Amino acid sequence: MRYRAMNKKEILRVVREYTIYIAFLLVVIFFAITLRGKGFFTAANALNIIRQTAALTIMGVGLTFVISTGGIDLSIGSTVGLSSLIAAIILREGGNILLAFLGGAGIGLMVGACNGFLYAKLKMPAFISTLAVSGIVYGIGLLPTQSSPVPIADTLFNNIFGSGNIGPVPILLIWMAAAVVLGHLMLRHMKYGRQVLAVGGNEISAKYSGINTEKIKFLVMLFCGLMAGIAGCLYAGRMHTGRCTFGEGAETQVITGVVLGGTIMSGGKGSIIGTLIGSLMIGMISNGLVIMGLNVAQQKIVQGIILLLAIAFGIEQEREA
């Protein structure tokens, strides 16, 4: 009976909800066929994709919250760079692993707090304010090293935050899973997540419902910064290096992943599981394109087109609602 009561619009919406999973499968099948025998459809490559995507997914978890309020954070890329650099410098100067991690994550928190203040308190459009912050953060990263890399010799750090495995499982997969589980619980099963979606869905109504909208908007930026800071440590661990240029342009990929996952740019609707699938899809496409032999320029063009398609799809979905 329930299904009969659903009208066409609703059925369409249910179909759309699963589109990302269907698309994901189609991409897998597409590459499995076109790249047959070239090592795409192997367990080793799958783990490879996860390693390459883990940091992007973690950034995506943070960004999903920001976008769910109707905001955006364009500073995550440069935050990743600065965070990796700070972690590497702390290790070079003899600091221990914990200190290096706290340094990297702390940078993220600081940038996030700054973004949050501009977004929530000063009510600046996040698109512009985080772009400006991104420039500042990048510049700060250039100051100590002029963009040259700082190598990390601490193998334990590199193992914990990058290249290590626990049994057959890459450590990066565990980091990623932890972030996704945390993000999913927060967004779906906690008061905070409900309030985030309410603010993004209708800020005035949220305010009239007794939600401290400024606090919520500050916290999403803070959390997003923290995730970018942690992602910076993972970059450092995987590359055995800290460098302020890490994460350059990562915003595009992260935003694409989030939007592909069904989170809507104008806010009010978000999904962490979607972000996971979306990010993996982006990672898989990049990986597949590399195996196909496309160069960086061609990859960038394809990524841009995918982002546009994802956003167009999201807008279409909003119109339906």
Q: State the residues that interact with other proteins by CB under 8 A.
A: 2, 5-6, 9-10, 185, 189-191, 194-195, 197-198, 201-202, 204-212, 268-269, 318, 321
Kindly state the smallest distance separating residue 269's Cβ from other proteins, in Å.
7
- Using CA atoms, how far residue 13 sits from 19, 27, 202, 315, 317, in Å, is 10, 22, 20, 13, 8
- Our CB check for other proteins shows the closer of 121 and 194 to be 194
| Closer Cβ to other proteins, 204 or 296, answer by number | 204
Nearer to other proteins, 11 or 166 (CB): 11
Q: Which residue has the tokens 């419902």?
A: 209
Q: Quick check: 80 and 87 in contact, CB under 8 A?
A: no
Question: What is the closest distance, in whole angstroms, from the C-beta atom of residue 131 to other proteins in the complex?
Answer: 23
Whole-angstrom distance, CA of residue 170 vs CA of residue 190: 29
Least distance from C-beta 122 to other proteins, angstroms?
19
How many whole angstroms separate alpha carbon 51 and alpha carbon 290?
15
Distance in Å, CB of 14 to other proteins, minimum: 11
At 218, which helix (H) or strand (E)? Answer: helix 213-239
Closer Cβ to other proteins, 316 or 318, answer by number:
318
Nearer of residues 261 and 268 to other proteins, judged by Cβ: 268
**Least distance in Å: CB of 40 to other proteins?**
39
Q: Quick check: 67 and 270 in contact, CB under 8 A?
A: yes
Q: Quick one: tokens of 317?
A: 């979905």
